[in-house]
Amino acid sequence: MSKKHSPNPKSPSKKPKRRSPLLDTDAGSVAPPPPAVQHPRVAQPPPAGPQPPSAVQHPRVAQPPSAGPQPPPAGPQPPSAVRDTRPVARPSKDRYRRNLPHIQAVERPVFLTFCTKDRRPLPESVRGLVLDHCLHDNGTKFQLHGLVVMPDHVHMIFSPLRDSNGTAYGFAEIVGGIKGASSHSANKALGRKGHLWQDESYDHVLRSEERLREAVEYVCNNPVRKGLVQCADDYLWIWREWIEGQAGPGSVAPPPSAVQSSTEHAQPRAAGPQ
């Protein structure tokens, strides 16, 4: 009698076949493929159709100017709109010292003297260069009242001014600029090198009782006292704000009546070229 073989419960069952993900057995159709992955480095085709101008403007590409000429601003511009060409003043102290103390006073007349190195006389051609450099910043960094270039020293009377920010131009900046620029020009004209001026200068602020006009006339008569000319007007390297200062553009106004000399002193000649 043959024995019936019963299925072994422990025998492994057959694994179902894996269906392809592309086959839809329920609908009997093929599933759509997954969306293609776009690589970030692969250039994508431009979108179809024309794009508006705002979408294609590059920030570095210059844009065309607005149509039609622009009208000028109506009416005169205020003074604040005019550009100030004065240089900015360097920070300075009210007092500084080299070998001698120097006291600065803004917008007050200062009497200044500086001498050549070893008191070497200046040729006449160089005196004209020094005079021009002393006048260069007149009306910008200082108001010049009187100036005379002697053979071996210079006398100046001036009042320091302020820049557009209200900062006063320092005494060292004014004098250093004059001495440095004139030394460079003189050495170039003479074909030599080295210092033209002594490092130290001599100055003092005019006292309230000192008359500005009298001080300028005294300084400008120095060539007469030295025997160089018979009259101060005959000396070529001299400048006074109420005479030479009125002869050309950019000159400053004559001294106010408060600083006029007394009637016993000589009166200035008429303004303009003589």
Strands 101-103, 95-97: parallel, antiparallel or unpaired by DSSP?
antiparallel
Provide the pLDDT for residue 74.
66
Q: Who's near 118: CB < 8 A, 6+ residues apart?
A: none
Which ranges constitute the DSSP H helices of 33-142? Answer: 124-135
Residues 203, 133: Cα–Cα separation, whole Å:
19
Residues 78, 166: Cα–Cα separation, whole Å:
19
* Chain CA centroid to CA 24, Å: 82
Q: Who's near 270: CB < 8 A, 6+ residues apart?
A: none
Provide the pLDDT for residue 230.
96
| Closest to 145 (Cα-Cα) out of 249, 263, 259, 226 | 259
Across 30-39, 73-82, 121-130, the highest mean pLDDT is recorded for: 121-130
Provide the pLDDT for residue 161.
93
| pLDDT > 90 fraction of the chain, expressed in percent and rounded | 41
Per-residue pLDDT tens over the stretch 89-115: 655 554 444 554 556 667 789 999 999
Lowest mean pLDDT among 94-103, 115-124, 194-203: 94-103
Residues 112, 178: Cα–Cα separation, whole Å:
12
Per-residue pLDDT tens over the stretch 207-244: 765 689 999 999 999 999 999 999 999 999 999 999 99
List the domains of the chain with CATH numbers. Answer: 102-256 (3.30.70.1290)
Provide the pLDDT for residue 209.
56
Provide the pLDDT for residue 141.
94
Per-residue pLDDT tens over the stretch 147-193: 999 999 999 999 999 998 989 898 889 999 999 999 999 999 999 99
| Closest to 158 (Cα-Cα) out of 269, 246, 271, 241 | 241
* pLDDT, the chain, mean: 73
Residues 94, 205: Cα–Cα separation, whole Å:
12
The band of 260, judged by pLDDT with boundaries at 50, 70 and 90, is very low
| CA-CA-CA-CA torsion sign (235, 240, 245, 250) | positive
Neighbouring C-beta atoms of residue 251, cutoff 10 Å: 18
Task: Please answer whether residues 127 and 185 qualify as being in contact, where contact means their C-beta atoms are separated by less than 8 angstroms.
Answer: no
Residues 33, 8: Cα–Cα separation, whole Å:
43
Q: Which helix (H) or strand (E) holds 178?
A: helix 171-190
Provide the pLDDT for residue 143.
94
Question: Per-residue DSSP letters for 140-155?
Answer: TTEEEEEEEE-SSEEE
